[in-house]
């Protein structure tokens, strides 16, 4: 959801409290000061997004950064980098963070790619998809004709697949695994 949706949801929840609505409406007394208590509820509605997406991303430093050339992406290299990070985490028995970055082509154009953790085959699969706008509208037929899929088979352990579905990386800031 977008921030405005969380803001409005917080505002709506604040109106569930009769005392808060009463305070915001000056309680029927023209001499009383009105309260911004409902706005406070709206601010609390947007706070988790703000803390997570605006501030949190700056404090969670990645061990591996997967940032490739948007005009000439190499899905095989991307899959290998993620696989090496997973192997390091397995062999050293420690947390390893991988940051995936989107591929920006222009002010409103991004190259979408998908990452799939295939537990059955014990491999990481990267698929380069079509170009999308910032509103995530796809431009059909813009996917690369060749060198579109990268696979890396893990050399250690058995992957426990917890995502279930592929994760798309396309606009703004990418996910961290």
Secondary structure of 44-99 in the HEC alphabet? Answer: HHHHHHHHHHHHHHHHCCCCEEECCCCCCCCHHHHHHHHHHHHHHHHHHCCCCCEE
Q: Name the residue range of residue 42's domain.
A: 3-59
Q: Is residue 174 included in any domain, yes or no?
A: no
Q: Is residue 176 included in any domain, yes or no?
A: no
Q: Is residue 104 included in any domain, yes or no?
A: yes
Same-domain pairing of 137 and 79 = yes
Q: Tell me the pTM.
A: 0.72
| Residue that finishes a domain, picked among 32, 59, 86 | 59
CB-CB contact of 116 with 137 (8 Å): no
CB-CB contact of 29 with 38 (8 Å): no
Whole-angstrom CA distances from 6 to 42, 125, 170 are 8, 34, 22
Q: Is residue 92 included in any domain, yes or no?
A: yes
Supply the angle between the helices 3-14 and 37-49 in degrees, to the nearest 10. 140
Same-domain pairing of 83 and 127 = yes
Same-domain pairing of 76 and 161 = yes
| Residue that finishes a domain, picked among 59, 81, 103 | 59
Quote the CA–CA distance of 45 and 34 in Å, as a whole number: 21
Same-domain pairing of 160 and 78 = yes
Whole-angstrom CA distances from 88 to 6, 16, 99, 153 are 38, 50, 15, 14
Same-domain pairing of 94 and 159 = yes
Give the pLDDT score at 68. 85
Q: Is residue 177 included in any domain, yes or no?
A: no
CA 129 to chain centre: 17
Q: Is residue 155 included in any domain, yes or no?
A: yes
Q: Is residue 123 included in any domain, yes or no?
A: yes
Give the pLDDT score at 29. 63
Token pair for 127: 């698929």
Same-domain pairing of 82 and 155 = yes
Provide the residue-wise pLDDT of the chain in tens; the chain has 177 residues: 567 888 888 889 988 988 888 888 765 566 556 778 888 888 888 887 777 766 666 777 899 999 888 888 999 999 999 999 999 999 999 999 999 999 999 999 999 999 999 999 999 999 999 999 999 999 999 999 999 999 999 998 888 888 778 999 998 888 888
| Residue that finishes a domain, picked among 18, 35, 59 | 59
Q: Is 143 exposed, middle or buried (0-12, 13-18, 19+ CB in 10 A)?
A: middle
Same-domain pairing of 163 and 121 = yes
Number of folded domains in the chain? 2
């Amino acid at each position: 959801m977008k921030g405005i949706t969380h803001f409005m949801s917080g505002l709506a929840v604040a109106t569930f409290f009769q005392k808060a609505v009463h305070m915001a409406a000056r309680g029927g007394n023209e001499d009383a000061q009105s309260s911004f208590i409902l706005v406070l509820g709206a601010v609390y509605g947007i706070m988790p997004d703000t803390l997570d997406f605006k501030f949190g991303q700056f404090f969670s430093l990645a061990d591996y950064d997967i940032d490739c050339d948007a005009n000439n992406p190499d899905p095989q290299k991307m899959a290998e980098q993620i696989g090496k990070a997973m192997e390091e985490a397995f062999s050293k028995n420690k947390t390893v963070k991988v940051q995936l970055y989107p591929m920006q082509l222009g002010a409103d154009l991004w190259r979408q790619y998908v990452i799939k953790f295939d537990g059955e085959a014990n491999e990481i699969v990267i698929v380069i998809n079509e170009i999308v706008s910032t509103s995530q509208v796809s431009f059909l037929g813009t996917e690369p004709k060749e060198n579109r899929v990268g696979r890396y088979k893990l050399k250690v352990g058995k992957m426990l697949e917890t995502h279930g579905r592929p994760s798309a990386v396309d606009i703004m800031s990418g996910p961290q695994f």
